[in-house]
Amino acid sequence: MIKMVLSIFCLLTSTGLGMASDMAAGQLMFTIGVHVEPLGETAQGYRGGRGDYRDPALFQRHVQYLYALAGVVERHGGALVVQVQSPFTQVAADTGSPVLADLEARGHEIGLHFHEGAHLGPDPERLPPEEWCRVMQEEIELIHAAGAEGPIRYWSGGNLYPGILEAARCAGLDIYGDWKDPRVQATAAETIGVVPWRPAGGPDPADMSHFAAHDPGGAVIYLPDGMIDPASFQEKRRIVREGGPGAWFSVLADYLGRSLAAALPDRVNIFHFTVHPGEFPLELIDSFLAEHVDPLVARGAVRWATFSRMADAFSAWEADHPGVEPRSGAPRAMGQGECRGYITFAVNVRDFVNVDESADTVLR
């Protein structure tokens, strides 16, 4: 018996012309984001993930990882976007840790990673944008108390809340990214691409059309992940479990290649991925940058940029191209009914007599 599991992911231009490799290449802006999770009790009295940043050993271990990762990226001419929240920020402020000030002084951007349940409690989507705004501002104040001096513009989180754009604007944030549905660990096809835009409405996993539509007057710029597989977040743990950390970086190399192929010469194009403190060996990240990113930077195909620099470049592009739809002509992931997909299939063998022969057939 053969069971076929269909996995649909394809790239089309909005005009239906196929892959962007047929077009003139554009430059890709690139960075690595870091998500610092809410380990322990947050400033609002809720508990986040496992572990506790009030354990000095854990806090220092992650601080040293951030310093070391920053050093790796700096050796390749790049900068990180380190996204933090309480209780990490509280511990940094209480202990006088200079980590955020040091990273900022070295050219890395500091942003907000906002796990809404850890700061707003259960069912945060029931709360009004004003309450979200108040708590997001509280978290931003803690980032400054921990040593960051520059403006906090970027946030990730709040992905199920239709009012997140309103709340973020109220809190002084204007750059958004890393959208996924945390319930299924997958992103929406409508958000996949390399060209930023200004969402016309907040995210709703049941209907992302308003979020995916561009509003020239929108206050928030969304930075897509690049040409990734919609199920990439869902598959990440399995890939690492079965193939080791290097297998995931092979996937990232493929996404980088797809994103570069999709980059248009008359647009702002971006690609980024996220790591967590201690998640991957630094040697692996160093090797990935040396093998895949450095050669592209050397030939001008890729340029390092923080999220704020990406957003500012997009704003400048908008000023030079009034009335132009930013993603027109840009490759993106489409729905199943709109394009051809790649078929991934598994063979379920119910043969207990000729197992070796069945296996040989599949291997051939």
**Residue 184: what pLDDT?**
87
Q: Which two tokens stand for residue 282?
A: 């630094």
4 within domain boundaries: no
Residue 332: the pLDDT is 61
The parent domain of residue 144 ranges over 22-330
pLDDT at position 249 is 97
Q: Would residue 63 count as lying in a domain?
A: yes
84-98, 194-208, 347-361 — which is least confidently predicted? 347-361
pLDDT in tens, 309-361: 999 999 999 999 999 999 987 766 544 434 444 444 444 544 444 444 544 44
Mean pLDDT of 84-106: 99
**Residue 314, amino acid:** F
Average pLDDT over the chain reads: 88
Output the CA torsion sign for 158, 161, 165, 171: negative
Token pair belonging to 87: 């209780």
Would residue 347 count as lying in a domain? no
Quote the pLDDT of residue 84.
99
In a domain, 33, yes or no: yes
Q: For 236-249, what is each residue's pLDDT tens digit?
A: 989 999 999 999 99
In this predicted structure, the answer to whether residue 7 has a pLDDT above a threshold of 70 is no
CATH code at position 35? 3.20.20.370
Question: Which of the 8 DSSP states describes residue 47?
Answer: B
Helix (H) or strand (E) holding 269, with range, is: strand 269-275
Q: For residue 5, tell me if it sits in a domain.
A: no
Using the Cα atoms of residue 74, residue 80, residue 86 and residue 87 in order, give the sign of their dihedral.
negative
Smallest CA-to-CA distance from 32 within 269, 273, 270, 281 is with 273
pLDDT at 191 over 80: yes
> Domains in the chain: how many in total?
1
267 has pLDDT over 60: yes
pLDDT of 290-303, one tens digit each? 999 999 999 999 99
- Residue 345 resides in a domain: no
Average pLDDT over residues 204-219: 96
Is 176 a member of any domain? Answer: yes
Domain presence at residue 57: yes
| pLDDT of 12 higher than 70 | no
Measure the CA–CA gap between 190 and 205, rounded to whole angstroms.
10
How far, in Å, CA of 29 to CA of 306, rounded?
9
Alpha helices in the chain (DSSP H): 56-75, 88-95, 99-105, 116-120, 129-145, 164-170, 209-212, 232-243, 245-262, 282-288, 294-298, 307-320, 355-363
Rounded to two decimals, the pTM is: 0.86
Q: What is the pLDDT of residues 99-150, one digit of tens each?
A: 999 999 999 999 999 999 999 999 999 999 999 999 999 999 999 999 999 9
Indicate if the pLDDT at residue 46 is higher than 70.
yes
Mean pLDDT across 60-85? 99
